């Protein structure tokens, strides 16, 4: 009952934060200004509202992606980013623009297709290594190696392309929420809904696989099929998110880790709270990025990386203290 009340209060707080974020901008416009000024009304409805909504759903879905990867690989630091799928998706996007495919295929659907293929290819390679070695450290190192390879390929594309495309790709790799419109939400909503439904449906299987593959198999779980399904779902999710907002790091690593320490992975509210808190975290980070050096707006990926890097150092120090 207490967890249910916590979930309900979190939902209420989420609504209040989302509503507040809509009225916060680089010009420090107030709620009253937003009601009286026609220009600000247009900014709020057409610019800030889709951005805030997208921030919440992207943050939530990234947190769920991190939850899945941490469970499948039984590594609290594993995320779609540390395992290279986000770098693969970013390379797919870079290739899409470098080859001029945006003049052939609409960006709204062409870019997600290329980013999905990049993410899916990376996850397949990592999963094959996982099945061959059964060593999570080797899998993690493979993901890091693939991230370096794809990052170097993206830098190569930036170097040999014209200045305009190079600047466009550079800004894309930061991860930013500006420029999001309602058209992006039309693409984002179905992907978020399907991903959320599948992960919730496989909650029991994910928990058992997080213990061990053998334990899950002994309980009647088809481990290989579950993993492949989740790899595909998370790849589609990462490809969609990267195509819309670029690679936004550390959300998928921090939020599941924090929620697991508070609730435990066996809690029936673990998945829901992870999604909500992930959405709130990215929404707050994006709001901060809009006002921290106003009127200049920082890419939100810079803010999440600053916080995520600090959190990572905290984890390392904490582990050192425990080992001593």
- Report the pLDDT value the prediction gives residue 108, as an integer from 0 to 100: 62
- Report the pLDDT value the prediction gives residue 139, as an integer from 0 to 100: 76
- Report the pLDDT value the prediction gives residue 43, as an integer from 0 to 100: 80
The stretches in the chain having pLDDT less than 70 are 1, 26-37, 105-108, 134, 136, 267, 324
- Report the pLDDT value the prediction gives residue 104, as an integer from 0 to 100: 72
pTM above 0.85, yes or no: yes
Token duo for residue 211: 């213990």
The number of residues in the chain equals 324
> What span, in angstroms and rounded, lies between the C-alpha atoms of 252 and 301?
13
- Report the pLDDT value the prediction gives residue 282, as an integer from 0 to 100: 96
Token duo for residue 200: 């919730």
CB 205 within 8 A of CB 221: yes
- Report the pLDDT value the prediction gives residue 131, as an integer from 0 to 100: 73
- Report the pLDDT value the prediction gives residue 1, as an integer from 0 to 100: 65
> What span, in angstroms and rounded, lies between the C-alpha atoms of 142 and 75?
14
Token duo for residue 5: 């009340």
CB 245 within 8 A of CB 56: no
Q: How many CB atoms lie within 10 A of CB 162?
A: 8
Residue range of the domain that includes 182: 2-323
Q: Residue written as tokens 């934060």? A: 17
- Report the pLDDT value the prediction gives residue 106, as an integer from 0 to 100: 67
What pLDDT digit, counting tens, does each position of 44-60 carry? 888 899 999 999 999 99
- CATH of residue 31's domain is 1.10.3470.10
Query: What pairs with residue 296 in β-bridges?
Result: 293
Element (H, E) at 202: none
Token duo for residue 72: 């499948």
What pLDDT digit, counting tens, does each position of 187-227 carry? 899 999 999 999 999 999 999 998 888 899 999 999 888 98
- Report the pLDDT value the prediction gives residue 54, as an integer from 0 to 100: 95
Q: How many CB atoms lie within 10 A of CB 47?
A: 16
- Report the pLDDT value the prediction gives residue 311, as an integer from 0 to 100: 87
**Beta strand ranges found along 56-166 (DSSP E):** none
The closest alpha carbon to 58, from 322, 292, 324, 304, belongs to: 304
The closest alpha carbon to 173, from 90, 238, 249, belongs to: 90
The number of distinct structural domains making up the chain is 1
Query: What pairs with residue 92 in β-bridges?
Result: none
182-193 exposure pattern, b = at least 16 Cβ within 10 A, e = fewer? eebbebbeebbe
């Amino acid at each position: 009952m207490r967890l249910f009340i916590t979930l309900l209060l979190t939902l209420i707080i989420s609504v209040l934060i989302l509503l507040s974020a809509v009225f916060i901008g680089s010009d420090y416009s107030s709620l009253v200004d937003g009601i009286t000024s026609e220009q600000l009304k247009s900014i709020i409805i057409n610019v800030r509202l889709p951005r805030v909504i997208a921030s919440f759903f992207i943050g939530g879905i990234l947190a769920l992606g991190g939850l899945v990867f941490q469970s499948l690989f039984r590594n609290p630091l594993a995320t779609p980013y540390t395992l290279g799928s986000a770098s693969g998706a970013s390379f797919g996007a870079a290739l899409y623009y470098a080859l001029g495919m945006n003049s052939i295929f609409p960006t709204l659907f062409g870019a997600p297709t290329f980013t999905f293929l990049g993410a899916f290819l990376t996850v397949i390679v990592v999963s094959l290594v996982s099945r061959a070695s059964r060593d999570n450290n080797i899998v993690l190192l493979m993901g890091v190696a693939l991230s370096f390879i794809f990052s170097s390929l993206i830098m190569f594309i930036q170097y040999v392309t014209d200045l305009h495309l190079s600047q466009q790709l550079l800004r894309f790799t930061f991860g930013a929420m500006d420029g999001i419109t309602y058209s992006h939400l039309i693409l984002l909503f179905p992907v978020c809904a399907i991903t959320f439904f599948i992960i919730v449906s496989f909650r029991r299987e994910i928990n058992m696989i997080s213990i061990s593959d053998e334990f899950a198999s002994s309980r009647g779980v088809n481990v290989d099929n579950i993993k492949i399904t989740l790899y595909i779902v998370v790849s589609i999710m990462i490809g969609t998110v990267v195509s819309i907002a670029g690679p936004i790091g550390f959300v998928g690593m921090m939020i599941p880790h924090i929620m697991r320490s508070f609730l435990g992975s066996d809690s029936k509210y673990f998945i829901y709270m992870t999604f909500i808190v992930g959405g709130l975290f990215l929404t707050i980070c994006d709001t901060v990025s809009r006002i921290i050096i106003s009127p200049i707006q920082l890419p939100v990926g810079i803010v999440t990386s600053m916080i995520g890097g600090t959190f990572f150092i905290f984890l390392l120090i904490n582990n050192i203290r425990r080992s001593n």
